[in-house]
Amino acid sequence: MLYGKWRPRGFEEVVGQDHVVETLRNALATDKVAHAYLFAGPRGTGKTTTARILAKAVNCGELSDGEPCNKCRSCEAINRGAALDLIEMDAASNRGIDDVRELRDKIAFAPSDLQRKVYLLDEVHMLTTGAFNALLKTLEEPPPHAIFILATTELHEIPATITSRCQRFDFRRIPLVAMVERLRLIAEKEGYSVPDEALLAIADEGRGALRDAITLLEQIASMYGPSPSTDEVLESLGLVRDERTEKLAAALTERDLGASLEIAREVAGDGLDIARFTRETIDTLRERLLAAARDRTPEVGVLTHAVAELAGADFRRDPGSPVPLEVACAAAVLGPAQPPAAPAAPDAQSAQGGQQPQRRPQGRRREPREETREESFLRELYERCRMTQPALAAWLNGSCEVRAITDKVLQLGFYHPIHMQKIANDGRTLVEQKAEELLGHPVTLLVERIERRAPASRPAKGGHLAAAARELGAKPVESGPPPRPQPPEEDS
Ligand SMILES: [Zn+2]
């Protein structure tokens, strides 16, 4: 892989992060290295690369001006990926409390092949709350031989107790000019001949993430050979873009949720800008919608709905995360997740209750007043979860209702299995912890599938998503899914 091959080996090669590199080199030159760092910023901007250079620098026997020598035993071991004391952990796949405990148990031992143990925790925002607490204890009293480097694309998801114990560096999207220079250097060293205009287009497509741009360069070279023309490059950038937006648009039109989620995950996994991918998918859906409207095909309804849902996906809190797109796809295919209905009269509720499982622990029957309280509990629970892990909390928003709260149990009923599974699997720790905060005692989360009660009223014009769809050129249709009601609160 070209990106790995041309990964910078020293601070002076790191592209577009001068403010970070300068501060680190000064700290190294004056022997003022911190014991915990937090590297925050978009993907593909050099966080892991800089972390590995820092790991070399704190262990290098021939440090010069804050730069590692890349020749001594330590530097070579790290460059080969063979240093036992550089411990890299991907928090996305090792996110539980046991993983952090294991790390804590081992940290006390002296380093074996380097001077200092360096722990590099990538995607650290993925840690569970319990794991964060375990990590916090280590950060409070780290052994002198250990250095922590935490890296994240989602700074806002890191608890303040963690950030306050780290020296923080913000990695920025890399300026276009710097990206072009680096691409040109790599192309030259690889023996490619790529016109400047084409390099500029590739760099622009990377949108500040050098890794994405280098990956594109590699794909283009494998497609067209080492001397692609500007036209070929532009064409290939179009192809890279079109293929999956078309696929996703087709999957949404066919209401194939599995395929939609698969594409969203794949795009995010490739490090592409998922917000931009979503906008391009909306463009594709709109074209299909216009054609469907012209030909009066029955797909108009599902397309209007899909455009509205995707237009409502909010990536501001999670720029690199596929979750907003996944939620939008789920809503587009399954129908909108509606907020809990206003408290229904007990009679109305029991009339509907015949069709659904009504197993409540201890057979407790809720009074209407109590139900109002439970719905506001759910609101508060969602808000608290959102403060800690907004991406996970999104699966809780308007997707469920409280079925029971007892001394030991919090039972939530979900309208769609996908929301239920997300919360039961990934969100359990978060929900149980926040519920305990609210209730003052620990509870176990139980989930079940329920049918959605009819909303008490519908706004006449279909709410903000329909407005967004109209803004995008969608026309109101007579048949098709019902308009989405206003959510109880707007995120601003
Ligand atoms: Zn060295």
Domain coordinates of the chain in residue numbers? 2-170, 245-337+463-492, 367-449
The winner for highest mean pLDDT among 184-188, 280-284, 398-402 is 184-188
What percent of the chain has pLDDT above 70? 82
Is pLDDT of 159 > 90? Answer: yes
| CA 62 to ligand 1 center in whole angstroms | 5
| CA 69 to ligand 1 center in whole angstroms | 4
| CA 326 to ligand 1 center in whole angstroms | 45
Query: Which pLDDT belongs to residue 454?
Result: 55
Rounded Cα gap, residues 259 and 251, in angstroms: 6
Rounded Cα gap, residues 260 and 252, in angstroms: 7
Q: What is the CA radius of gyration of the chain?
A: 26
Rounded Cα gap, residues 379 and 443, in angstroms: 17
Structure tokens at 340: 């809990």
Report the residue count for the chain.
492
| CA 145 to ligand 1 center in whole angstroms | 18
Structure tokens at 338: 């509606």
Is pLDDT of 8 > 70? Answer: yes
Query: Which pLDDT belongs to residue 357?
Result: 40
CB 264 within 8 A of CB 326: yes
| CA 110 to ligand 1 center in whole angstroms | 20
Structure confidence at residue 235 as a pLDDT band (50, 70, 90): confident
Provide the 8-state DSSP code for 343: P
Could you tell me which CATH number the domain at 2-170 has?
A: 3.40.50.300
Q: What is the number of other CB atoms lying within 10 angstroms of the CB of residue 390?
A: 21
Q: At what angle do helices 230-253 and 323-334 cross, to 10 degrees?
A: 40
| CA 404 to ligand 1 center in whole angstroms | 61
Q: Which of the two residues, 451 and 329, has the higher pLDDT score?
A: 329
pLDDT in tens, 373-420: 678 788 889 888 888 888 888 888 888 888 888 778 888 988 887 788
| CA 29 to ligand 1 center in whole angstroms | 14
| CA 59 to ligand 1 center in whole angstroms | 7
The amino acid sitting at 447 is V
| CA 52 to ligand 1 center in whole angstroms | 12
Query: Which pLDDT belongs to residue 380?
Result: 85
Across 251-255, average pLDDT = 93
Residue 445 β-bridge partners: 410
Rounded Cα gap, residues 77 and 447, in angstroms: 49
pLDDT in tens, 464-487: 444 444 444 454 443 344 444 444
Average pLDDT, the chain: 82
Across 299-321, average pLDDT = 84
| CA 171 to ligand 1 center in whole angstroms | 25
Q: Where on the phi/psi map is residue 442: left (φ > 0), alpha (ψ -120 to 50), or beta?
A: beta
Residue with tokens 């490739």: 270
| CA 213 to ligand 1 center in whole angstroms | 30
367-449: CATH, from 3.40.30.10, 1.10.3720.10, 3.30.920.30, 3.30.300.180: 3.30.300.180
Is pLDDT of 356 > 80? Answer: no
Single out the residue of 263, 252, 339, 243 nearest to residue 304, CA to CA. Answer: 252
Rounded Cα gap, residues 474 and 257, in angstroms: 22
Q: Where on the phi/psi map is residue 114: left (φ > 0), alpha (ψ -120 to 50), or beta?
A: beta
